[in-house]
Structure 1
């Protein structure tokens, strides 16, 4: 049976507070453990009024303390904003208290501004129309290049790093993290360094990626498990999976590829109710795609009052059309298609609704249906 796991952004909803969001995250993690989910991952987002998960290591420690068996981890630490040593020390500290339960997911999202700027300076790529692959929708790609030229984006990037700092290559950072955990780190001139806490930690190392680029390559070449983001970049998921599998080399920890694929999901007792609960999602994505950051998640009534333009709809089309919304049976069937087409060993579900009770119920209904139908 394919396992289900959870990715939580610790969403702040309209009328709510950061404290409410954090309490809801801890409550949902406890319930997820009861429902039988395998992992509970926390995202890293910055400058987002509607997302409280800005410091995943802190939140992971809180969730691990509130639960007892579910694996807890990051989805993902943005390596462009931290040193390898800082990451190893943070997660080594958590692992010391909750051994055997901590996942360290690593991502490149903090390092991609230079690439996006280069993309913005090139002629746009020929359009790639949406298509169905064995029942899975692969939408037309969305380009983030315009965001890279935004003065706000430049300001935010500068605030996330020390003045004049330059991020090392992602592959080098991953290698440094692995070496510090293993206790084998050596500088270019042969000097040893030991991370305490961190060295010898039993964390499970993961790479997260949204394309067939460096993240997938690094995960495959180093024999690490990989999480492909259908929920963030659905148009690129098949390329990401293929690149990972083609690059994979067996490692001591992983003899064969191990793949998680993410999906945005809202489940309710019936399709109509689920569509109502999910209706604010497009407006929420619009804020992200415009460079404003995730807004506090609106109510269905607030979303219905928004006057959509053609430009707005184009901004969010790929995300809205690939959100899995409906009754337990409807969503489970669509998730099985995602699993079968990508060959996922595990599915990572992220759900946002305005009311916390509806979000908890969505995860409960999905877990019940998934177990009843054999995954």
Structure 2
């Protein structure tokens, strides 16, 4: 079976002991290198108020990455539309597309939106760990404690104008698409035209972690869909199934197109890869404990950190579904992910303390996958 494309998701991680500027320069360097290795696209995440993640302004980073590369597609994974207006998003990415035509992806996510209550049509979350076609699907993780934390409320307050309420995601998506097409009308019939933005040469994607609104909207609108195995592995099959079931052909796509993400660390041997990946659980714990992503520790720092059964339970789903090993080990696990989800493309995200190890991980994987 021909290997499907590999792409990159980058959070611009800040290693412990490094500065934000180091992380941003590493991002630009990594983009140049993975373009040479044969990766298809390079996406920048959006995270806020996290000492260990520098990708808080994806449009700015996309511009820097696109300017430093030649052929690789560059985009957002994903813009949190609940924090801005449809027009602002279209103008930002329209500007990027005008400067780098044919290379920009506008990935949209629901983060920052008002939460939508589950409906009877939503597939129920799985209750226990499963293995489906060789793919581990752990029990679902509950984010309820994070959503009620004071830091979550503070982030919302800082990201929104006082008293602002984002419109429903479906309405924002409709506005984004109308502004890009050039046929936007308000309730009174008054038109508006985004400059730059209208008729921009870019791809619009939706990203989602479940079989809920994002997956269904992507399908109904005939857009490509990115399913999030690396953050929400329990629900990836429900997400891709809901997308395919809702899919209607559009001017963009004649058939569904699914990209699936995975957390990966590759080294020359399994043992070396496990050593490089050892800090990952500590890093995930910092997020899930409510403090935001901490600077990524070194293997030595991780080994010195206290670790309890409670800590292990907090991060087990993420650690157990990280693909770690020698190139052939990880490539085989990625083939399982591809086959179980029917993915058309895989999105790989890798974090290590040392930038050279991260670059090497992507290079080793590409050589194994694309040979």
Partner of residue 194, structure 1: 193
Kindly provide the CA deviation profile for residues 73-118 of structure 1, in whole angstroms up to 9, marking residues without a partner as x: 0000001101000000000001111000000000002115x45xx7
| Post-superposition offset of 1:127 | 7.6
Distance 1:10 1:81 in 2: 20
Kindly provide the CA deviation profile for residues 262-317 of structure 1, in whole angstroms up to 9, marking residues without a partner as x: 00000000000000000000000001111111000000111111111222111100
Distance 2:342 2:269 in 1: 28
Partner of residue 206, structure 2: 207
| Post-superposition offset of 1:192 | 0.1
Determine whether 1:101 maps to 2:100. Answer: no
Partner of residue 12, structure 2: 10
Partner of residue 39, structure 2: 37
Q: Which structure 2 residues correspond to residues 68-217 of structure 1 after superposition, within 5 A?
A: 68-112=70-114, 114=115, 128-217=127-216
Partner of residue 122, structure 1: none
Distance 1:7 1:333 in 2: 20
Partner of residue 61, structure 2: 59
Distance 1:21 1:151 in 2: 28
| Post-superposition offset of 1:370 | 0.3
Distance 2:126 2:324 in 1: 27
Q: Could you tell me the TM-score, scaled by structure 1's length?
A: 0.95
Kindly provide the CA deviation profile for residues 246-275 of structure 1, in whole angstroms up to 9, marking residues without a partner as x: 000000110100000000000000000000
Kindly provide the CA deviation profile for residues 96-147 of structure 1, in whole angstroms up to 9, marking residues without a partner as x: 11000000000002115x45xx79xxxxx99811111011000011000111
Determine whether 1:266 maps to 2:268. Answer: no
Distance 1:216 1:300 in 2: 37
Q: How many residues align?
A: 364
Partner of residue 283, structure 2: 284
Whether the aligned pair in 1 keeps the contact of 2:208 and 2:239 (CA below 8 Å) is yes
Distance 2:137 2:28 in 1: 34
Distance 2:292 2:125 in 1: 28
Q: 1:182 to 1:127 in 2, by over 3 A?
A: closer
Distance 2:138 2:202 in 1: 35
Kindly provide the CA deviation profile for residues 212-239 of structure 1, in whole angstroms up to 9, marking residues without a partner as x: 1100011000000000000010001000
Secondary structure in structure 2 of the residue aligned to 1:111: coil
| Post-superposition offset of 1:371 | 1.3
Distance 2:313 2:187 in 1: 48
Distance 1:367 1:37 in 2: 7
Partner of residue 310, structure 2: 311
Distance 2:327 2:126 in 1: 35
Distance 1:85 1:342 in 2: 34
Distance 1:127 1:149 in 2: 23
Determine whether 1:230 maps to 2:262. Answer: no
Whether the aligned pair in 1 keeps the contact of 2:233 and 2:317 (CA below 8 Å) is yes
Whether the aligned pair in 1 keeps the contact of 2:140 and 2:235 (CA below 8 Å) is yes
Partner of residue 322, structure 2: 323
- Unaligned 5+ runs, structure 2: 119-123
Whether the aligned pair in 1 keeps the contact of 2:101 and 2:201 (CA below 8 Å) is yes
Q: 1:126 to 1:79 in 2, by over 3 A?
A: closer
Task: Say what the alpha-carbon RMSD is for the aligned residues.
Answer: 1.2
Whether the aligned pair in 1 keeps the contact of 2:125 and 2:140 (CA below 8 Å) is no
Whether the aligned pair in 1 keeps the contact of 2:126 and 2:234 (CA below 8 Å) is no
Distance 2:202 2:148 in 1: 37
Whether the aligned pair in 1 keeps the contact of 2:82 and 2:112 (CA below 8 Å) is yes
Distance 2:251 2:66 in 1: 27
| Post-superposition offset of 1:199 | 0.6
